[in-house]
Amino acid sequence: MPHAEIVRQLVTELERVGVDPDQMVAGLTSRAEEALRALRALPDVAGPAAFLAELRNQSSAVSINNGAVGQIPHDPGPTSQ
């Protein structure tokens, strides 16, 4: 997807959830795809705190699952030493 289209989608989604794009996009350090995924998971007018929480939540899920989004991590149970 062209860069201009990604930026347009990000701005549209940020505005939809009630986040000021001029404030948020400059500080966004995640990939555009991750930000769009987080934004699209939110209801209208969710606000900046909800966006950041969802972004952290999705980032945590990816790192816990070694990049496999949407999977519940395997709990190996107690380990003996």
Q: What's the token pair of residue 32?
A: 């555009």
Instruction: Report, in this order, helix, strand and coil percent for the chain, each rounded to 5.
Output: 60, 0, 40
Alpha-carbon torsion (50, 41, 3, 68), positive or negative:
positive
Q: How crowded is residue 78: how many other Cβ atoms within 10 Å of its Cβ?
A: 5
**Pair 11, 21: CB distance under 8 Å:** yes
**pTM of the predicted model as reported, rounded to 2 decimal places:** 0.64
Render each residue's pLDDT in the chain as its tens digit; 81 residues: 788 898 899 899 999 999 888 877 555 666 888 889 999 999 999 999 999 899 888 877 655 555 554 444 444 445 544
